[in-house]
């Protein structure tokens, strides 16, 4: 009996040794995301249009949790109690008058005192309160080094491009628009001094992180987060993730390749087949940080073939049919990847809370089971093996 016990102990120690070398985790597929069956459903009224690109959870001063959701095209932001999923109220932002937003292009919310908007009619960030009153505006234009910041920054939750306010500076990620600025001259990040409104650009450019082959795909979309210490970038066409310090002085690359993607550099079709091609080609997606478990989740969209007889324009709002989630530890080592069942989950809509990762169940294409009147999420937990 003792021999059996010692042998088991030996196997456990051997496993631990295989996972750690010099205090650093080796890439082993030992962690997965497991569905719990726990569901949260947020009801949408008849005036609210479902979208997958503008949704944020947040807390108030007491720690109470909420979910905010943009009714895209209507200038409305809806608020829900995250615990009960009950609707609380909505903000109706005016399209004309002294507090006119005109037309929202995106938003981000830290809490009820810090609601930030982007508008198609204003080259900057607009801060409002819950009565729709404009508190302040932060303009952006040319940086102190002469880079012209195009009025095309949009704050969205997919791709995740939320602004970050750090030590009095506003950090934004300008999109790459090659017809106006080449990649080697487009900064990966700009920051605005919110006191002087002076704009500074990073030395690191798109040309430093994307190869010519990757840029030839004409897909420079990227998800960017700040984890409290580093900015982390997940480019859709790059197997690696890019990590920079807060001031963007240097970059580090970490392999974060999906086991299900052979190449992420296929060129997307344009024209009539563009919408369908966008949902078929292999790509990476959003990367988010789970501060409660100190891991990162990177979404990976697999190559697939879709029905030629269906109209695919407008269907991107429901996410990708086939996807997995790569799990990385706090040193950016891949420690697992979970393959999800097809045609159930919306891979573009998710949020992290204390209890785990919530992913939308609203794929809604070709199934007909999900109701258009709800935002529905299922809780996933990390499982170690």
- Statement: residue 150 has pLDDT above 60: yes
Does residue 216 contact residue 237 with C-beta atoms inside 8 Å? Answer: no
What single string gives the DSSP state of each residue in 257-271?
A: --TT-S-S-PPPP-G
* pTM: predicted TM-score of the whole model, two decimal places: 0.89
Q: Which residues contact 362 (CB under 8 A, 6 or more apart)?
A: 50, 52, 318, 346, 349, 370, 374, 375, 376
Give me the phi and psi of 341, to 5 degrees please. Answer: -65, 150
Domains defined along the chain, listed by start: 18-384 (2.120.10.30)
Q: Cα(219)–Cα(148) distance, rounded to whole angstroms?
A: 21
Q: pLDDT-based confidence at 137, cuts 50/70/90?
A: very high
- Enumerate residues 6+ apart whose C-beta is below 8 A from 96: 102
Cβ atoms within 10 Å, residue 284: 26
Phi, psi of 39 (to 5 degrees): -120, 140
What are the CA-CA distances from residue 60 to residues 82, 106, 144 (Å)?
12, 21, 36
Structure-token pair, residue 147:
């880079």
Residue-wise pLDDT tens digits, 106-131: 999 999 999 999 998 898 999 999 99
Q: What is the pLDDT of residue 267?
A: 84
Chain-wide mean pLDDT for the chain?
A: 88
Residue 30 has a pLDDT of 83
At 76 the pLDDT is 94
What's the token pair of residue 105? Answer: 């292009």
pLDDT in tens, 219-263: 899 999 999 999 999 999 999 999 999 999 999 999 999 999 999
């Amino acid at each position: 009996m003792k021999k059996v016990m010692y042998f088991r102990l030996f196997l456990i120690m051997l496993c631990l040794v295989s996972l750690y070398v010099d205090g650093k985790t080796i890439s082993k597929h030992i962690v997965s995301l497991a569905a719990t069956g726990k569901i949260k459903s947020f009801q949408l009224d008849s005036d609210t249009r479902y979208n997958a690109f503008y949704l944020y959870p947040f807390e108030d001063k007491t720690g109470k949790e909420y979910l905010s959701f943009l009714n895209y095209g209507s200038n409305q932001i809806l608020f829900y109690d995250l615990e009960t999923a009950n609707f609380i109220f909505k903000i109706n932002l005016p399209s004309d008058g002294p507090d006119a937003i005109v037309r929202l292009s995106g938003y981000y919310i830290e809490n009820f005192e810090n609601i930030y908007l982007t508008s198609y009619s204003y080259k900057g960030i607009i801060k409002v309160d819950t009565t729709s009153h404009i508190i302040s505006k932060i303009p952006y234009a040319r940086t102190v080094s002469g880079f012209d910041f195009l009025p095309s920054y949009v704050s969205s939750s997919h791709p995740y491009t939320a602004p970050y306010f750090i030590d009095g500076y506003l950090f934004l990620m300008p999109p790459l628009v090659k017809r106006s600025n080449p990649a080697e001259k487009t900064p990966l990040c700009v920051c605005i001094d919110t006191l002087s409104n002076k704009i500074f650009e990073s030395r690191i450019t798109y040309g430093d992180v994307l190869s010519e082959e990757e840029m030839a795909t004409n897909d420079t979309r990227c998800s960017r987060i700040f984890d409290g210490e580093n900015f982390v970038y997940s480019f859709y066409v790059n197997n690696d993730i890019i990590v920079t310090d807060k001031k963007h002085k240097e970059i580090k690359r970490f392999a974060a390749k999906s086991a299900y993607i052979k190449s992420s550099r296929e060129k997307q079709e344009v024209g009539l087949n563009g919408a369908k091609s966008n949902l078929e080609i292999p790509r990476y997606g959003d990367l988010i940080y789970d501060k409660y478990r100190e891991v990162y989740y990177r979404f990976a969209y697999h190559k697939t073939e879709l029905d030629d007889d269906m109209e695919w324009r407008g269907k991107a709002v429901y996410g990708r049919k086939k996807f997995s989630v790569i799990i990385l530890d706090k040193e950016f080592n891949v420690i697992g990847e979970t393959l999800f069942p097809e045609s159930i989950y919306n891979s573009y809509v998710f949020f992290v809370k204390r209890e785990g990762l919530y992913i939308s169940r609203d794929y809604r294409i070709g199934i007909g089971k999900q109701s258009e009147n709800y935002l529905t999420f299922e809780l996933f937990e990390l499982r170690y093996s």
